[in-house]
A = this chain, B = another copy of it.
Amino acid sequence: MSKVEECKIPNATAKRIPLYYRYLKMLEESKVERIKSKEFSQLIQVPSATIRRDFSHFGELGRSGYGYDVSYLIQVFSHILNTQVEKKIALVGAGNLGKALVKNNFRRNDNLTIVAAFDSDSELVGTKINNIVIQDMKDLTKIVEKEGITTAIATVPSQHSQAAVDQMVEAGITAILNFAPGRVKVPDNVKIQYIDLTTELQTLIYFDENFTSNKQFNFANQ
């Protein structure tokens, strides 16, 4: 499938592909060979009509009464997501959360790897998290260029978030997962996604206290 064809996929569908891919991999691990859209819908909490419409963008992937072939779908989505290629990730901010992310290092995933960690605190620079040496922020550009890294996770405190993101952009990073919730400015070619645990938790508590019937509300799936 060419890049041009992929770009015809609606944005809403594209957003769900990593989720589909992840669950199909779980099914494969559990030796499930085929699945109906209804069953898949229950598993991932996305309406089955949405799943069928999404899958229809990738050609004739399912047959009525038979369901979808798990390994074939994995092949298609793996190709789209380019999962054969290792994605090298830089971690910027080696505080508590940063250290935990490096230690866990997406170990259940073949292709996502934090390969370098950075901090501006001279007491942290040179220390190790597992086998990764924390590097000085001033060496960010050099190392990012050398390693060919384009993706970074930022766990820098809010008040330093914009400055750190500026340095990342300057170094050539084009995709940033930011744990500081305050919106930062980035050029148009840079994608940024925020993980805001406080807001997630406040939303959860708010719904728990005020809505009794709405069992599940996963923003990412809707």
A192 touches B175 (CB 8 A): no
A203 touches B15 (CB 8 A): yes
Residues of B within 8 A of A210 (CB): 3, 6-7, 14
Residues of A within 8 Å of B, CB-based: how many? 78
A32 within 8 A of B: no
A189 touches B212 (CB 8 A): yes
A177 within 8 A of B: yes
Q: Which residue in chain B gives the minimum CB-CB distance to A206?
A: B81
Ordered by A's residue number, 30 sampled pairs between the chains whose C-beta atoms are within 8 Å are A7-B210, A11-B211, A11-B217, A14-B211, A15-B203, A15-B219, A18-B203, A22-B181, A22-B196, A26-B182, A45-B183, A81-B205, A83-B202, A96-B99, A97-B101, A97-B104, A99-B100, A106-B198, A108-B198, A151-B201, A174-B208, A175-B207, A177-B197, A177-B200, A177-B201, A192-B215, A193-B204, A193-B218, A194-B218, A195-B200
